[in-house]
Structure 1
C-alpha cells in the first residue's frame, strides 16, 4: 500500500498511511487522491463544517468495501480537534468531532472518511439550528433538471417570504440542496415546521412537479421536498464532501446562475480543485447572513388555520411526536368498516 506520507495542512502535519490504497476502482483514485482533494478545498469545506458536530461516513477499504457512520469522536483523535455533546431523539448522547481547523478534514480522510455530515448547529448551542436546509430529492422518473426547476421556484418562495436567501449546491447525485442561514433562536421542531411550510408553498406552485408527501407510494414522478432532513440528528452531506459513487463526485456549491446549467458530473475530486483555485468558495459569504424564520412560521400558522394543514410524519426511528399524524402508509391503513345493514 506504499509508505506513509505526510501532508502539510494550514500549519499542521497530517500523516497518511497506506496512501496507495485504491478507494475508487473505476478510475483508480487512491486514498492519497482523496486526501489531496480535501487539502485543495480545505478552506471551503472548513467553512461548511466549522464548529459543527459532524458525523463521519467512513469507507476504510474504499467505495466497494463496507462502510459505516461514525457519530462518536474516533478514539485517538488529536486534542486540537474539539467536540460537542449532542443528544439523539432516542435519548442517547455522544461527543462528536467539531472541525475548527483545515487539518481536521484531512485527518478524518486518513481514516477513510469520504462524506462529512455536519449538524445545522454550532457547538456553543447544539439545540438551536443556524441553518434551514432544504433537500430537493428527485423521485423515480425525474432527474437533476427537474430539481433545478424546483430550485429556481424555491428561490422565489424564499425571497417572497421575508427576503430569505438560499445558497444552492449539488447533492453529488441528482438532487439539489439549498441552505438558508438563520438566526439561532428556533428549535429543531420550529425549523422543521418552517421547512414543511416551504415545501407546501412550493407544492402549491408546482403541483405536478413537486411533492411533500412522506410516503413514497404517494409521491409519483415529482421532486420530493424532504422536510425531515431538518429533524434532530438528520444531516445532509456538507458542501465539498466526496460522494461514494464510482466516479468520485463531490457536493458542489453553486451560484444561482449555474443551477440547471452546470451538471453534477462536472464536479469530482479531479475537477473541483481547479474550480476552487479559480473561483474560491462561491458560498464564502454565507456566514455573513442570518435570516429570521418568522415569515415562514407565519406561513405555517396560516396553513394550519386556513387549510387545516398540521404536522407531517417523522422518520420511523423517532418517538411519537405531539400533534404528529399516523405513521402508517395509506395503502396499509385500516379502512373503516361499513355500517351494519
Structure 2
C-alpha cells in the first residue's frame, strides 16, 4: 500500500513548483492537533514576510521527525536528495572551518523543509552575499526565573531609547516563547565580533539605567530575577528563531513581529500557526519596511571602547567557542571561589 502523500502547488520566481508532502496528517503539535500539512500550508500563507525575514541568508533547520514531543536535530547544509531549488552558501564557523549552509531563496524551500519535519528556522544575521558582516543587530530579552513576558515588555521601550540614542531604529517581535527580540537593521560594514561588542555596549547601558530589572551577567547564578540581555546571540553561527518561524512549543506559537504601539497589550500566545496568516491579512506585516533605512553601529562601538577604558572588558563566550582574546575565565563564580578557597 502506497504511503499517504499530497502535492502542494507552490508559486515561485520561476513559476509554480509541485512540492510533495508525505504523511500530511501526521500531528506535529499534539496539544493543538496541528498537522504536517497545516505546517506546510502555513508557509504558503505567510510566504512574503517569511522570505523577507529569513530568505537569502544562511539558515539552520531544527527538525522534529516525531513531532515536537520527540527528539530534534539541526540541519545546516542541504541533505542528499534535496531538490535543485534548495540552495546553499559556504560559511565560516567559529572554528575557522568552512562548510555549505542552506539558503532559502523561495518559499518552496520552506515547504520542502516542512516536508523534512522542520519546525523552527534559525537564520543568520548576515546575507548569503556577505556572510561575514551582519545586516542586523539582534538583542534577545530573556526572562529569568521570577520574571516573565511582562517584565521583558517593561524593559523593551528603554532599550529602544538606548538604541535610538546610538542612531539605530529598533524593531520588536515576540520570541514565540517568554521573551522579546529587538532587531536593528544595520549597514553590513562590521563583522560579527564588532556587532557582538555593540550589543554588549547597548546592554550595559540599559543595565545601568535599569539595574533592578536588567542584567548582562552570563552566569545564571548571578542574574537574579531580572531580564538577561543575551549578548552571545550576536555571535557568528549563534541564531534565534526567525520572524514568522513557528516554535516547538505546545501551542504552536510563532515568533511574530509587532508594532511598538501594541507591545503593552500583546499576548504572545495568540500568535500561532493557525492565527498568524489571518493577522497578516488584516493588519499587514509590521516589519514591511524593516530594511529600508539601515543604521551604523559606530556610536555603540564608541560606547564599547569607553567601557573598556573604564575596566569593563570582554564577556564570556559560549562553551563551544575557542578561547577569545581578553575573555575572562569560563568558570562560574561560585566554582571559582571554591577553587580559590581550597588553594
Q: Deviations over 1:110-129 (max 9, x none)?
A: 11001000011111111111
Q: Deviations over 1:215-272 (max 9, x none)?
A: 0000000000000001111001101111011111110111111113111111001111
The range that moved more, 73-82 or 260-269, is 73-82
Cross-structure match for 2:80: 75
Work out the CA distance in 1 between the residues paired with 2:133 and 2:153: 29
Instruction: Tell which deviates more after alignment, 61-70 or 130-139.
Output: 61-70
Return the match for 1:41 from 42, 46, 52.
Answer: 46
Whether the aligned pair in 1 keeps the contact of 2:77 and 2:88 (CA below 8 Å) is no
CA distance in 2, matches of 1:128, 1:85: 14
Tell me the equivalent position of 1:174: 178
- Structure 1 counterpart of 2:37: 32
Q: Does 1:303 align with 2:304?
A: no
**Hey, what does 1:12 align to over in structure 2?**
17
Does the 8 A contact of 1:2 with 1:19 survive in 2?
no
Distance in 2, Cα, partners of 1:65 & 1:238: 22
In the superposition, the TM-score normalised over structure 1's length comes to 0.96
Q: How far off its partner does 1:49 sit?
A: 1.3
Q: How many residues align?
A: 337
Q: How much has 1:336 moved relative to structure 2?
A: 5.0
Q: Quickly say closer, same or farther: Cα 1:17–1:338, change in 2 above 3 A.
A: closer
2:106 — aligned with what? Answer: 101
Match of 1:143 in 2: 148
- For 1:126-205, what aligned pairs fall within 5 Å after superposition? 126-162=131-167, 164-205=168-209
Pick aligned residue for 1:319 from 322, 326, 329: 322
- Aligned counterpart for 1:275 among listed residues 274, 279, 287: 279
Q: CA deviation at 1:186?
A: 0.4
* Alignment check: 8 A CA contact 2:142 2:229 kept: yes
Helix, strand or coil at the partner of 1:333: helix
Where 1:26 maps in the other structure, the secondary structure is: coil
What residue is the counterpart of 1:239 in the other structure? Answer: 243
SS in 2 for 1:115: strand
Partner of 1:114: 119
CA distance in 2, matches of 1:262, 1:338: 51
What is the CA distance between 1:106 and its match in structure 2?
0.9
Shift of 1:72: 1.7
CA distance 1:2–1:27, change in 2 (3 Å): farther
Aligned to 2:94: 89
- Give the distance between the partners of 1:93 and 1:112, measured in 2 at CA: 26
Q: Show structure 1 runs of 5+ residues with no match.
A: none
- Is 21-30 or 226-235 further displaced after alignment? 21-30
8 Å Cα contact 2:78-2:87 kept in structure 1: no
Q: Answer whether contact 1:90 1:318 (CA < 8 A) is retained.
A: yes
Corresponding position: 1:253 with 2:257: yes
Using the TM superposition, give the Cα deviation of residue 337 of structure 1 relative to its aligned residue in structure 2, in angstroms.
6.6
Determine helix, strand or coil for the equivalent of 2:253. Answer: coil
Contact 1:210 1:224 in 2 (8 A): yes
8 Å contact kept, 1:17–1:110: yes
Matched, 1:65 2:75: no
Q: Structure 2: how far apart are the matches of 1:311 and 1:171?
A: 27
Aligned-pair CA distance for 1:81:
2.5
Q: Is the 8 A contact 2:8 2:21 kept in 1?
A: yes
Deviations 1:178-232 (A, max 9, x none): 1111111101110000000011001001000000000000000000000000111
Say yes or no: does 1:227 pair with 2:231: yes
